[in-house]
Structure 1
Amino acid sequence: MHLTANQLVEEARKQIREVAPGDLAALRGSAVLIDVREPAEYQTGHIADAINIPRGVLEFQVDAHPAVANASDPALSSKSCPIVVYCRTGGRAALSAVSLQRMGFTDVRSISGGITGWTDAGLPVTTR
């Protein structure tokens, strides 16, 4: 059986927990925030303190992302650390959340609606 990209995303959404943009504040102090969009997308505006690890390399770089010169990030060294992922509208983030769960991360969420839902809710982005 062949699936479309949208069908894959819908299947992924059934396997993950999503958090509404406005509810992210409760997790911000303890969760690692990962933006899985491409670097050019990230540069146009992202949630403050988000780490950019593009979806295409997430599984390879989650433990050693470029933001820390390819050294393991202590925040990601524990498979039980809370992780919140997002993309533009939520599809890539849903697929990413499933992959992270399959890799053993036990506390993974996705922002429903992605950065689009975030900005639609009037929440701030940064380009720094």
Structure 2
Amino acid sequence: MKTAHDLVAAAKARVPEISVANAEQAIREANVLVDVREADEFAAGHLPGAVHISRGMLEFRFQGMPALQSRDIKIVLYCKTSGRAALAGAALLEMGYLNVQNITGGFDAWVAAGKPVAKPEAPAFD
């Protein structure tokens, strides 16, 4: 029987990882930057320009959104530390996507490197 860690290790062996140092360039070249964390994690802060598609809905959202259906779009994924993003990347490879990358260390590594974080602003009730 495989553990979650076994599945993540197998996914990381298949999905190319990019360092935080190289992530900004990869994001600029990507068609889509996807945060696969849960909604509350995304709301607390995310990479600028990221779209939220939780890991649990990833395959369905990619299948259902016309803008994401081309198998040659460039996709950069991230999560908190890169495990969920690796699993998401492996699923996308299984679906036939050709250009999938995962940010090594995920959101935590991005923040630790002092990179910018987007946070939604609370509505003003003046």
Same fold? TM cut 0.5: yes
Shift of 1:23: 0.5
Structure 1 residue 5 corresponds to structure 2 residue 4: yes
Identify the match of residue 109 of structure 1 among 97, 101, 105.
101
Structure 1 residue 17 corresponds to structure 2 residue 16: yes
Shift of 1:15: 0.8
Paired with 2:119 and 2:66, the residues of 1 have a C-alpha distance of 22
Query: Mean alpha-carbon deviation: is it higher for 29-38 or for 98-107?
Result: 29-38
C-alpha contact 2:62 2:69 (8 A) present in aligned 1 = no
Letter in 2 for 1:26: Q
Letter in 1 for 2:113: A
Taking only aligned residues, the RMSD between alpha carbons, in angstroms, comes to 1.1
Shift of 1:27: 1.9
Identify the match of residue 84 of structure 2 among 81, 92, 96.
92
Structure 1 residue 43 corresponds to structure 2 residue 43: yes
Paired with 2:80 and 2:69, the residues of 1 have a C-alpha distance of 26
How many residue pairs match? The answer is 119
C-alpha contact 2:45 2:117 (8 A) present in aligned 1 = yes
Letter in 1 for 2:81: T
Paired with 1:29 and 1:4, the residues of 2 have a C-alpha distance of 35
Shift of 1:73: 4.5
Which residue pairs with 2:112 in the alignment?
A: 120
- Under a length normalisation based on structure 2, what TM-score does the superposition of the two structures give? 0.89
Gaps of 5+ in 1: 65-71
Shift of 1:123: 0.6
Which residue pairs with 1:26 in the alignment?
A: 25
Paired with 2:82 and 2:117, the residues of 1 have a C-alpha distance of 16
Deviation per CA, 1:99-119: give whole Å up to 9, x if none.
000101000000000100111
Q: Percent identity?
A: 39
Letter in 2 for 1:36: V
- Under a length normalisation based on structure 1, what TM-score does the superposition of the two structures give? 0.88
